[in-house]
Amino acid sequence: MIMAKGSRSERWVLRLLVLGLIVALWEGVCRTGLASEFWVSRPFLIVARLWDTVRSGTVWFHMGVTVIETVSGFVLGALAGIIAGFALARWRRAHVALEPYLMGVYSLPRVALAPLFIMWFGIGIPSKIMLAISIVFFILLINTYVGVQNVDRDLVNSVKTMGATPRFITRRVVLPSCIPWIFSGLRISMALALTASVVGEMLAAQYGLGFLLARASGTFDTTGIFMVLIILALLAIGTYNLMARLEKRLLHWQGETASI
Amino acid sequence: MPQKVSVSGLSIAFGATRALERVSLTVNDGEFVSIVGPSGCGKSTMLNVIAGLLAPAEGNTHVAGIDGQGAGSRIGYMFQKDTLLPWATALENVCLPMDVKGSRDWHKARALMQLVDLTGFEAHYPNQLSGGMRKRVQLARLLAQDPDVLLMDEPFGALDAQTRLIIQEEFLKIWERQRKTVLFVTHDLQEAIALSDRVVLISARPGRIKATYQVDLPRPRHIESVLAHPRFMALFQEIWASLKQEVLAARERPA
C-alpha cells in the first residue's frame, strides 16, 4: 500500500512541530538547570547571536570565504575528475598502469593531506581549494569511469548497426548514459567539498566558517559553535537541494529523484 | 530474383564451443525468412555476424551486394531487448537513424509514428510507454532507417501474449505493404510460420541447417485466419516434429 504524502502545508506543520518540540526541550532543560548553559548553550542565545552576526555582516564574509573554497574545489575537482574518468575509460593501458595508485590515493583519508597542502599553499584560500579538489577529483574519476564501463552494450550495438561513427556513439549514447553516474558522484562530492573546506579552515586559516568554529571552540564559546553549525547545516541543505533540482532537470527522463 | 542476403560456409566458435558450422543461406529480395531452432543453436550469433557485429571464424556474408562487414547502414537490426535511448523522446528515437545519416526529417518521423499508431506520444520518454508501445517505436525507428534488409532477433519475444498478437498483426500489415527483405529469428514456431515465406530450421549445437520449409500460405495474411488455416496446421506439425527432436537433443547436452 502507498502512504498518502499529505498536502504541502500539512507536511510543513508537522516539520515545524518537531522543530518547536526540540527548541522547547532544549530551552527547558537549560532553564530548569538540568543542563549547563556553558556546555550546551540555549536556542534563544544562539538565535540572538546569529541575528547579531548577520546584522553586523561578519557572518557573510566568513560564509563567502567558505563558499568560494567549496565551490571552486567542487567545480575544478569535478571537471578534472570527469575528464580523467573518460580518458581512463578510453585508454585501457593508462587504466591498467594507474589503477593501483589511484586506488591507493582514493583509499587514503584525504583530509590527512591537509597539513601538506597548508604547508605548500599557505593558510589562505588555495590550500582549502586543493583539499576539496583532492576529494572531489577521485569520486568523479571513479564514478565516470564506472559509468562508461556500464554503458548498455546492446544500445551501443543497435546504434552501431545504424552505421553510426564512434564519435556519434560517444555523443549520443555513452555521454548521456554516464550522466546518472556523474550526478551521483556530484551529489556526494558537494557535501564532501564543504567538509574539506571547513576542516582545512579549522586547521589553519584566518577566515571562513571553519575558522569561526575553531575560534569559538578555543574560547569555550558554545553558543558560537552552535551558531556556525546551524549556518553550515543550512548551507549544506541549500546546496543539496540545488543539486537535486539540477539533477531532476537533466535526468527528467528517469522519473523521480529524492530530495529533502 | 536477386539475392539480398547470402551467407556461405559460415562457422563460428566461442572458445571450445562450436556455435555454428558451415551454414549457407540465401535470402531473396523482398523475401521474409524465419530461423527457428533450440536455444543456444547460434541463431542470434548468425544475425550478429550478418550485421557485422561479430567476425566469423570461417565463411563470408554478402548483404545487398556488399561484402562481409561493410554493409552497415543497409541493415536494420531489431533486438529482443529494448534498445530505445531512455534519455530521448519517442520522436527523437525515431529520428536517430536519420541523425546518424546527418539529415533529420521531422515530417517523416511523425508520419512513421502515425504508421505505428502512436500519434500523440511523440514527446513521451520510453519509461512512460508500455512494452508494446516501446516495441512500436522501435519498429518506427527501424523503418526510419529505411534499410535494405531487416534483421530481427526475437523482436516480439518479451511481449505478453496478447500484445504480441497485436504487434505481429500490425507488423505483418506494414511489411506486406513495404516488402523489405527480412531475416527473422524466433523461438515461436507459430510466429515463424504465420509471418514468413520460408522457415529455416537450425539443429542443436553445433548449429547446422537441418531443413528448410516453404510457407505457401496466401498473402495478404491475417494472423487469426492464418492460425486456423489447414495448411498452417500441417506445416506446424511437420516442422514441430523435427524441431522437437533438436530441442530435446539440446536439453541433453551440457550448456
What are the domain boundaries of chain A?
62-203+234-251
Summary mean pLDDT of chain A: 90
Contact criterion met (CB below 8 Å) for B203 and B246: yes
Query: If you measure CA to CA, which chain A residue comes closest to B96?
Result: A159
Identify the CATH assignment for B3-83+149-228+244-252 out of 3.40.50.300, 3.40.50.1010, 3.90.79.10, 2.60.120.10: 3.40.50.300
State pLDDT tens for residues B17-70: 888 888 899 999 999 999 999 887 888 889 888 888 888 888 888 887 776 666
Joined together, the cell numbers standing for residue B191 give: 510466429
This complex has an ipTM of: 0.81
State pLDDT tens for residues B183-201: 999 989 999 999 999 999 9
- Enter the CATH code of domain A62-203+234-251: 1.10.3720.10
DSSP string for B58-124: EEEEEETTEEGGGGGGGEEEE-SS--S-TTS-HHHHHHHHHHHHT---HHHHHHHHHHTT-TT-TT-
More confident residue, A255 or B249: B249
Cβ of B72 within 8 Å of Cβ of A161? The answer is yes
Q: Which residues of A touch B127 (CB under 8 A)?
A: 253-255
Q: Could you say which residues from 125 to 184 on chain B have a Cβ atom under 8 Å away from some Cβ of chain A?
A: 125-127, 145, 151
Can you say whether the dihedral through the CA atoms of A8, A13, A16, A22 is positive or negative?
Answer: negative
Q: What's the predicted TM-score (pTM) here? A: 0.79
Residues 6 or more apart in contact with residue B174 via CB below 8 angstroms? B115, B116, B139, B143
Quick count: other Cβ atoms within 10 Å of Cβ B135? Answer: 26
**Letter for the amino acid at A60?**
W
Find, among B15, B150, B132, the residue nearest to B71 by Cα. B150
Q: Which residues of A touch B (CB under 8 A)?
A: 152, 154-155, 157-164, 168, 172-173, 176-177, 179, 251-255
Burial A92-118 (b: 16+ CB within 10 A, else e): eeeeeeeeeebeeeeeeebbebbeebb
Domain locations in chain B? 3-83+149-228+244-252
Of residues A154, A168, A176, nearest to B83 (C-beta): A154
Joined together, the cell numbers standing for residue A62 give: 566568513
Answer whether B55 touches A (CB < 8 Å): no
State pLDDT tens for residues B135-156: 999 999 999 988 889 999 999 9
Cβ of A173 within 8 Å of Cβ of B85? The answer is yes
Q: Could you say which residues from 73 to 92 on chain B have a Cβ atom under 8 Å away from some Cβ of chain A?
A: 73, 75-77, 79, 81, 83, 85-88
Of residues B75, B101, B126, nearest to A161 (C-beta): B75
Cβ of B88 within 8 Å of Cβ of A159? The answer is no
**Measured distance CA(B132)–CA(A133) in Å, rounded:** 47
